[in-house]
Amino acid sequence: MPLNLLSCKGQPVADGHEFFLTLFEDHGRVDEFESTLYGGDSGRGGLFTLETVDGVSYLRHNDQYLVVQPEGHDHVPIMFVPDRPTDPATQALRMCQDPRFRSIFHLTTWDGSRVVHCEWIKVSYGYFNLAERSGPGTQFQIVLPEEEEPIMYYCDYARQ
């Protein structure tokens, strides 16, 4: 089933449209460092895009794909790679929309057995990892560049 993602202000998000990712609960920005996904409240954040191929939606950043790495690969379970996965069933991350708000989603492995969650290194800074499923994991929200405000916050659309 194709995703019908919306931004935090209710704008449709199509393939190729650039956006920021925020951590819904904490308002922090998501960024990439050395091909790894990080989150924090530093105010910076990378621009992401969505690409859908054969019914599989991929998050992209700097022309790289966010994927699940094979077990034992540098001890980094998810990271950005230059090529689209050859085996989406084991390497793709599934974007799962919140049942009530199309602007909020979380990421799981393709089979749904593990979720992406943020492991906080400091109070305001952490990296993303995979964990056994025990809830939805970290919730993300899309903010389009034109929707950006000086201070980020629970976007109005998600609270309706």
Query: Could you tell me if residue 145 is inside a domain?
Result: yes
Range of the domain at 93: 28-159
- Helix (H) or strand (E) segment spanning residue 99: none
In 3D space, the residue among 135, 134, 88, 139 whose CA is nearest the CA of residue 118 turns out to be 139
Distance from the Cα of residue 4 to its chain's centroid: 15
152 lies in some domain? yes
Domain count, the chain: 1
Q: Which residue has the tokens 């920021």?
A: 20
> What's 97's domain CATH number?
2.80.10.50
Mean pLDDT by 10 residues, the chain (160 residues): 78 90 79 84 79 88 88 72 88 86 86 86 79 81 80 44
Confidence (pTM)? 0.81
Decide if 1 is inside a domain. Answer: no
